Structures are given as C-alpha cells and as structure tokens.
Amino acid sequence: MSPIFLATLMLMGMFLIQAAIVLGIIHWISKRSSRPAHTKMVLTMGLLALIFGFLLVKDWMYSQELNRLVYFCLLIILISACNQLRKRKEKM
C-alpha cells in the first residue's frame, strides 16, 4: 500500500474518532438533562453554527473563494433545525 493511502486512512480515522467524541459528549450531556431530545437538538445546532462560523472566518482570513454550496447546505440545515425547535416549543 502506498504511503499516501495509509496517511489518508489515518486522517479519516482521526476525524471519525473526533466525531465520535463530540457526539458522545452531546449524548452524555443530554442524558443528564430534564428534556434530552431538546438538549441534544440545541447542542447539535450550536455545533453546526460553530462549524459554519469557523468556515466563514477561515475563508475570510485566507481570502479563499467561498464554497457557496457548503454554506448554503449548512444554512438550510440550521434554518430547519430552528424551525423544528420552534415547533416543539409551541407544542409544549
């Protein structure tokens, strides 16, 4: 196997471990709250907003071309999550 392939596999493994740790922390926090589903949704939405902000700052600082498709998809996901939270709040 080539070294580039092995390095790619190692990077993918590191990203998967980081994602598992973050999602595990979100699950652990939401399990100990009074409304776990609502807490999990709020924490996940905050994480998405943080990723969106980091991407914007990175592209602004390094003067790269904005990847409009990524921003559009993240914005749509954030808007739909806000709508779901609002609907849940109205039901309660």
What is the reported pTM?
Answer: 0.64
pLDDT for the residue 92 = 67
Query: Which whole-number Å values give the CA distances from 68 to 37, 48, 51, 58, in the listed order?
Result: 31, 16, 15, 14
Per-residue pLDDT tens for 64-89? 676 777 788 888 888 888 888 788 77
The closest of 42, 19, 40, 41 to 28, measured between CA atoms, is 40
Both tokens of 57, joined, read 């700052």
Instruction: Summarize pLDDT for 19-66 with one digit per residue, the tens.
Output: 899 888 888 888 888 888 888 888 888 888 888 888 888 777 777 676
